[in-house]
Amino acid sequence: MPNLKSIKVRIKSIKSTQKITQAMKLVAASKVRKAQIRVLNSRPYSHKIVDFTLRTVKSISPSDRQEFPLMSRREVKAVGVVIISSDRGLCGSYNTNNIKKAIKRIQELESAGIAAKLILIGNKANNFFKRAKVQVIDSFTQLPAAPTVELANLIAQSAEKAFVTNIVDSVEIIGTDFISMLRNEVYIKKFLPVGDLNQNNENPKNASEAASFMLFEPSLNDVLNSLLPLYLSNIIFHALLEANCSELASRMNAMSNATKNAKELIDLLTIVYNKARQAAITQELTEIVGGAEALK
């Protein structure tokens, strides 16, 4: 017969856990709404910056591009991979999916004879890859609750420095796009060199026509020196916003499922407890009746 005391203690423990998961679900739900608003508001601006930058780059001849360090293309011997994860867990498969995507990409690069060098964002990626035999260029942990432009600038500067100093010949980002509260998608996007992206859906003919009428004031150098740092920071900042929103949505769903599972387990244990309690009462009654019959 099950021990009544142990069942009761277990029910009490699960109820305490249920309160925690319910509270975490409510906190994540309140935060994810704000994060969703930030993502939706940032998308038009981010897309415009990317579109304008790529149109500007297309207006420059390939030979002129080589004069700008962030646009120079060379033989790829090493690729920098920026991996975005979270500092905390309890967010379902969010971090697992990102790390799996990163591992697959690293294996693809190594099989092609290309070295992978990592820039890690978040404790989860940092803790995982510090045990792996992959070179880590830089890492960023203790992330703010909401992504900041200052953090994006630091990450962009780290990636830019690695590219300009020839530590890597290309830079990619592995992050998560927020689709809905129940869905997000892990992606890989090229980051550097600038202009080596397939993010522009514009018709090539229209793009070339637009580029032929593009004038730069006061000069091309001044325009690009202002535009390229803004472009790099924008790419990173928007990726952080998308990742933050995806993380919160994943945590809300994970805590919702945990709360539901706790309730089901409490109901099941309550039935087991009642059955065991009824069996104990029945046994006591049987012993009393048996003792009374023996005294007759």
What digits encode the pLDDT tens for the residues 35-51? 999 999 988 988 888 88
Instruction: Say what percent of the chain tops pLDDT 70.
Output: 91
- ω into residue 69 within 30 of 0, thus cis? no
**In this model, does residue 207 exceed pLDDT 70?**
no
- Tell me the two tokens of residue 283: 């046994």
Q: How confident is the model at residue 243 (pLDDT cuts 50, 70, 90)?
A: very high
Nearest C-alpha neighbor of 192 from the set 141, 219, 157: 157
91 is annotated as an active-site residue: yes
Instruction: Say what percent of the chain tops pLDDT 90.
Output: 32
- In the chain the domains, ranked by start, together with CATH numbers, are 4-23+257-295 (1.10.287.80), 42-253 (3.40.1380.10)
**In this model, does residue 206 exceed pLDDT 70?**
no
- Return phi, psi of residue 131, to 5°: -95, -10
Amino acid 70: pLDDT: 82
**In this model, does residue 199 exceed pLDDT 50?**
no
Name residues whose C-beta falls within 8 Å of residue 273's C-beta, 6 or more positions apart in sequence.
2, 4, 7, 8, 11
Q: What is the mean pLDDT of residues 10-18?
A: 90
**In this model, does residue 202 exceed pLDDT 80?**
no
Q: How confident is the model at residue 214 (pLDDT cuts 50, 70, 90)?
A: low
Name residues whose C-beta falls within 8 Å of residue 2's C-beta, 6 or more positions apart in sequence.
272, 273, 276
C-alpha dihedral (62, 64, 68, 71), degrees to nearest 10: -10
- HEC profile of the chain: CCCHHHHHHHHHHHHHHHHHHHHHHHHHHHHHHHHHHHHHHHHHHHHHHHHHHHHHHHCCCHHHHCCCHHHCCCCCCEEEEEEECCCCCCCCCHHHHHHHHHHHHHHHHHHCCCEEEEEEECHHHHHHHCCCCCEEEEEECCCCCCCCHHHHHHHHHHHHHHHHCCCCCEEEEEEEEEEECCEEEEEEEEEECCCCCCCCCCCHHHHHHHHHCCCCCCCHHHHHHHHHHHHHHHHHHHHHHHHHHHHHHHHHHHHHHHHHHHHHHHHHHHHHHHHHHHHHHHHHHHHHHHHHHHHC
Q: Name which residue leads in pLDDT, 64 or 35.
A: 35
User: Which is catalytic among the residues 24, 39, 57, 91?
Assistant: 91
256 alpha-carbon distance from chain centroid: 19
